[in-house]
C-alpha cells in the first residue's frame, strides 16, 4: 500500500488539508488559520493521523501552497497557488483551460494547459472588492447571511447599478441605496454587487485570455448568486467542483505525489 501524500493550502483566514492515497482523496479538512501557520497546519492534520493510526513522520511527501506555504517546516514541496489550482482542477475537470479562484482576500485567474500546468496567471490582492471578505462585509451591512444574499440575488429580476470599484466606496454606495427615497430593493442591490464583482473578474480573465472550459473555485464558488452573475458576464457555463475550496490543497498533494514518484 502506498504511503499517503498530503497537500496543505495555508490561506490568510483558513487552512485546507487534503490527503491522497493511491491518487484518490481519502481525507479533507478545513481549519481556521492559526497565527502560527506551522502549528495550525499540524493541528489540521491531527484528526487524519489519529484516524489512520499514523504519526506525521509516517506520511509521504507533504506539499504546501498559499500565503503561508513557506512557513510549514514539515513540507517538502512548496508550490505557488496558480500551479496548485491548475494541477488540482485538471484532476477534477481535465477539459478546463481557465480557472477562477476567489478566496478570502485574494483572487486568481489561471490559464491551464492540457497537461494541467499553468501557462499564465493573474492575481488580485490590492483591493478587497471581489473577495470573500468583501462579500462578508456587504452581508454585515445588509444584516443577512451569505446564503441569504445568494437567495435574494436569485430572486432579482433586475439589478442596481454599482458605479464604484473600491470596496469601501461600494459599501457606502450600498448604504446609500438602502436609505434613499424610495429605497432600492435589497435583492436588486445584491444582484448589483454580484454583477460588479463579475465585471472585476472579467477584467482579470481578459488578461490571461478566456478559454473554455472555465472552472470557478474557492469558497465563494458556493454562492449561487455570484455564479449566475459570473456566467452572465463571461458568457459561459462554469464548472464548479463539489468542494471548491479544496482545489489548491488537492493540487499541492498531487505535486507532492509527483515528488514521491
Residues 105, 114: Cα–Cα separation, whole Å: 29
Q: pLDDT tens for residues 61-88?
A: 999 999 989 999 999 999 999 999 999 9
Q: In sequence order, what are the beta bridge partners of 19?
A: 6, 27
Domain coverage including residue 18: 1-93+243-261
CB 110 within 8 A of CB 82: yes
CB 192 within 8 A of CB 158: no
Q: How many domains does the chain contain in total?
A: 2
Residues 81, 144: Cα–Cα separation, whole Å: 31
Same domain membership, residue 70 and residue 107: no
Same domain membership, residue 144 and residue 250: no
Using CA atoms, how far residue 248 sits from 80, 87, 181, 257, in Å, is 9, 8, 45, 14
So what's the pLDDT on residue 129? 62
Q: How many CB atoms lie within 10 A of CB 147?
A: 13
Same domain membership, residue 147 and residue 40: no
Q: 131: which 3 cell numbers?
A: 473577495
Backbone angles phi, psi at 56, to 5 degrees: -60, -30
So what's the pLDDT on residue 57? 84
User: Is the pLDDT reported for residue 126 higher than 70?
Assistant: no
- Positive or negative, the Cα torsion across 41, 77, 65, 2? negative
Q: pLDDT tens for residues 42-68?
A: 888 888 999 889 988 889 999 999 998
Beta strands in 43-84 (DSSP E): 62-66, 77-78
Residue carrying C-alpha cell 499564465: 120
The four Cα atoms 206, 212, 218, 221 give a dihedral, to 10 degrees, of 100
Model pTM score: 0.93
Same domain membership, residue 147 and residue 74: no
Q: How large a percentage of the chain has pLDDT more than 70? A: 95
Same domain membership, residue 8 and residue 74: yes
So what's the pLDDT on residue 1? 58
So what's the pLDDT on residue 164? 64
CATH code of the domain covering residue 196: 3.30.420.40
Q: Residue 117: CB partners within 8 Å, gap ≥ 6?
A: 83, 86, 87
Same domain membership, residue 249 and residue 231: no
Amino acid at each position: 500500500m502506498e504511503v499517503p501524500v498530503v497537500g496543505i493550502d495555508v490561506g490568510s483566514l483558513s487552512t485546507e488539508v487534503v490527503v491522497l492515497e493511491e491518487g484518490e482523496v481519502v481525507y479533507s479538512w478545513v481549519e481556521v488559520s492559526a497565527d502560527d501557520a506551522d502549528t495550525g497546519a499540524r493541528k489540521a492534520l491531527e484528526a487524519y493521523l489519529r484516524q489512520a493510526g499514523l504519526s506525521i513522520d509516517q506520511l509521504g511527501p507533504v506539499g504546501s501552497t498559499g500565503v503561508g506555504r513557506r512557513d510549514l517546516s514539515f513540507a517538502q514541496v512548496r508550490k505557488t497557488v496558480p500551479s496548485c489550482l491548475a494541477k488540482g482542477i485538471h484532476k477534477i475537470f481535465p477539459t478546463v483551460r481557465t480557472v477562477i479562484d476567489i478566496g478570502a482576500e485574494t483572487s486568481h485567474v489561471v490559464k491551464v494547459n492540457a497537461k494541467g500546468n499553468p501557462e499564465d496567471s493573474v492575481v488580485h490582492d490590492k483591493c478587497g472588492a471581489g473577495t470573500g471578505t468583501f462579500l462578508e462585509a456587504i452581508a454585515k451591512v445588509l444584516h443577512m447571511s451569505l446564503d441569504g444574499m445568494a437567495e435574494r440575488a436569485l430572486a432579482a429580476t433586475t439589478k442596481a447599478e454599482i458605479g464604484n470599484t473600491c470596496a469601501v466606496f461600494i459599501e457606502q454606495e450600498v448604504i446609500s441605496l438602502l436609505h434613499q427615497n424610495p429605497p432600492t430593493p435589497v435583492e436588486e442591490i445584491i444582484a448589483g454587487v454580484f454583477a460588479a464583482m463579475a465585471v472585476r473578474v472579467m477584467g482579470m480573465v481578459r488578461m490571461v485570455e478566456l478559454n473554455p472550459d472555465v472552472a470557478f473555485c474557492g469558497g465563494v464558488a458556493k454562492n449561487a448568486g455570484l455564479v449566475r452573475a459570473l456566467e452572465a458576464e463571461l458568457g459561459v457555463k462554469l464548472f464548479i467542483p463539489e468542494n471548491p475550496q479544496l482545489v489548491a490543497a488537492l493540487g499541492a498533494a498531487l505535486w507532492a505525489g509527483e515528488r514521491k514518484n
